[in-house]
Structure formats: structure tokens, C-alpha cells
A = this chain, B = another copy of it.
Amino acid sequence: MIFSKTCEYGTRAVIYIAQQTKNNKRTSLKDISEQIGSPEAFTAKILQQLVKHNILISTKGANGGFAVDKKKLKRIKLMHIVFAIDGGEYRDMCVLGLKKCSAKDPCPVHHKFKHVKKDLLSMLNNTTLDELTNKMNDGKSFLKLD
């Protein structure tokens, strides 16, 4: 859909990990993939990527696992996760796939789409990890639904 599957799994994982972090728990790959309903080995790759981008902290060995730096919970935005995985391509996306679609040289849909794009980007840019975990803890949101 709008984001790659990698990005979807990655975001769900980060939210779950952040939630556990708030409860002072580190969480393992196995636990994560079970809780968010994602393939384990594939999720491992995604988490590695997020560690490299300093969104997650990992510790090896027994009792190891993943966590989020608590100080960063309010600083990390959805945008950071999405950009870490899918790259910054969303900035200049064009509905019709033109490489250089701009206000000056627009595709026919440009001006009707720009508001949607702006809203999407500001949503990604304003939604914090902290906020999302709160919704989880309220018990009113889910990371796995079939």
C-alpha cells in the first residue's frame, strides 16, 4: 500500500518495543514477531536496519533484545522510522510518477494532490513514538489484527 511491507513491520515493531521499554522490559525478536504478527527472520533484518539508524538499541546474548532509548520517545517521529526504511522519497512524490514534478512544472494532478501530501507529511512529522505507545497502553489500539 502506501508504505512498503518492510516499513509496516518495522513501524509496528518499534511501537511494540517502545511500549515494552516504557515498562522497563527489553524484548526479543521472537517475542516481537509473535506480538506484531510478522515473519521472524525477515523482522530480524528490519530491526538491524533500525539499530543502524539509531532508532533502536540492541543488546546481544542471553537476556538481550531490543529497546528504545527512553529519552528519545518523544523525539522519534513516525517520519524517522519511515525515512530510515523507505528513504526520503516521500518528500517529492508525484501521483503520476514524474521525476521532477513541481509547482513550476506540475503534472495535471499536482495541485490537487499537494494538500493531501502536505497533510500526510505533517502527520508523519508530528506523530511521536510516545504518543503511539500511549494509545497502545490505553488498550484501544492494536498492532496485530487478522
Contact = CB atoms under 8 A, between A and B. Distances in A.
A62 interface: no
Interface residues of A, number: 46
Contacts of A33: none
Given A116-B116, A116-B120, A106 B142 contact: yes
A105 B11 CA distance: 18
23 contacts: A1-B94, A1-B97, A2-B93, A3-B97, A5-B97, A8-B95, A11-B95, A12-B96, A12-B97, A98-B142, A98-B144, A99-B145, A105-B142, A106-B141, A106-B142, A107-B141, A107-B143, A108-B136, A108-B143, A112-B123, A113-B123, A115-B119, A116-B119
In the complex, the count of this chain's copies comes to 2
A135 interface: yes
